Amino acid sequence: MTEPWTQLFGSATPVVGAPMAGGATTCALVSAVAAAGGFGFLAAGYKTPEAVAAELAELRAAGTPCGVNLFVPGPPEIDEAEFRRYARDIAAEGEPYRLDLADVPLTHDDDHWHDKIDVLLDSAVPVVSFTFGLPDPAALAALRRAGTRVLVTVTSVAEALAARDLGADGLVAQGTEAGGHSGTHTPRRPGPPTSTLPLVRDVTRATGLPVLAAGGVAGPGDVRDLVAAGATAVAVGTLLLRTDESGAGRTHRDALADPARTTTVLTRAFTGRPARGLRNGFIERHEASAPPGYPAVHHLTRGMRAAAAAAGDADRLHLWAGTGYRHATTGPAGAVVDRLTTAL
C-alpha cells in the first residue's frame, strides 16, 4: 500500500521541512530534508519573483522535488493615524541605529502576488501551500489545472471548512505552538488558540482532507502522536533553525540556545500579525500598544530588525520560535529528520 504522505509529497517519510521566510529556509535545507527522506518547502514570502524562480531552478537542476509557500495578501488593516501612533511609540528603538522610525512611511503591498503565481504556474511545482488566508479562486484553479496540489494553512475548523469548500487538496493544520507567523485568516480577531494535536484531529474529521500537522514538534513522540491523530505528515520549522543548512542568522541561533530565554509568546509587536517568538525586550516594551497591521508594521520595524541582527542585539530582533525550541539542535538537518522518524 502506498503511504498517504507518499501520495501527497512523493517522500519516503512523513517529515516535512516547513517553509520559513526571512532567510531560514535555504535550498540547502530543502535538499538536506529531501535527502533524508523528507519533503521540504521553499519560502517565497518577502522574496522577489525572480529570486523564487532562481531557487526553483536550482532545486530542479539538483533533481530535488519541493513545495513552495506563499503569503496570501490581505486588505490594508491599519490607518495612517494608528500607524503613526505606533511609529512614535517605538521611535526610541531606532535611535541606537540612527533610524528615524517615527518617519517611516506607511507601506502596504501584496508581496508580488500575481508575479509569484505566474512563476509557480511556469515551474510546475508539485505542491504549493498558502498561508495568511484563502487564495483567490482563480489562482487556486489555475495551479490545480497545472497539476499542482494546493494546501491552505488553517488554525481552526471553520478555516479548514472554508479551504475545503474553495477546493484545496489538503490543509496545513497549524497549532498555536508553531514558531513564526500564525496563518490565521482573521489576524485582527484570531480565534481561540488551539493546540496542534486537537486541531489535527478535529480538522481531519471535519474535512476528510489530507492534513499536514505543524506546530510545537519537539521530538519523535510528537510525530508519532500527530500521525496517530490523523496527520498525513508532520512539518517542523523551529527544530531546523540551528542546523548546518539553515539560513537563520547568528543572533537568532544563539538566542534559541540561550538559557536565559525561557519562554515563547505570541506577539504582533514586530509585524502587526500574531507570531510566536522568544520573549525579548522589544516585545515586553511594545506588545501592549502594538496594533494589528500587517504588512505595514513589518515594513515599519524591518530596518531596525536588520540593524539589530547585524549588531547581535537580540532584544530588538524577532526571534521566531515554536514551543519546542529547547530541542533545536546543531548539526546536519538530515539528522533531525532521521531522529523524528524513530518512533514511527
Ligand X SMILES: Cc1cc2nc3c(=O)[nH]c(=O)nc-3n(C[C@H](O)[C@H](O)[C@H](O)COP(=O)(O)O)c2cc1C
Give least dist CB 1 to ligand X, A: 28
Backbone angles phi, psi at 316, to 5 degrees: -125, 20
Q: CA geometry: angle at 23 spanning 130 and 219, to 5°? A: 75
Tell me how far apart the alpha carbons of residues 328 and 336 are, in angstroms, rounded to a whole number: 9
Distance of CA 42 to the CA centre of its chain: 10
Selected binder of ligand X within 125, 212, 217, 278 (CB under 6 A): 217
Give the interface segment with ligand X, choosing from 56-64, 82-90, 201-209, 213-221 (CB under 6 A). Answer: 213-221
Give least dist CB 286 to ligand X, A: 20
* Sheet strands side by side (includes 275-278): 180-181, 275-278, 264-267
Selected binder of ligand X within 11, 131, 148, 194 (CB under 6 A): 131
Contact criterion met (CB below 8 Å) for 49 and 121: no
Number of residues that bind ligand X (CB under 6 A): 30
Give least dist CB 81 to ligand X, A: 30
By the 10 Å C-beta count (0-12 exposed, 13-18 middle, 19+ buried), 322 is classed as buried
Give the interface segment with ligand X, choosing from 16-24, 55-63, 197-205, 279-287 (CB under 6 A). Answer: 16-24
Could you say whether residue 238 binds ligand X (CB under 6 A)?
A: yes
Per-residue contact track with ligand X, 78 to 107, x per CB under 6 A? ------------------------------
Enter the C-alpha cell of residue 282: 522589544
Selected binder of ligand X within 55, 93, 159, 177 (CB under 6 A): 177
Q: Which of residues 280-339 bind ligand X (CB under 6 A)?
A: 320, 322, 324
Selected binder of ligand X within 16, 18, 33, 154 (CB under 6 A): 18
Which residues here bind ligand X, judged by CB under 6 A? 18-22, 24, 43, 45, 69, 131, 153, 174, 177-181, 183, 214-217, 235-239, 320, 322, 324
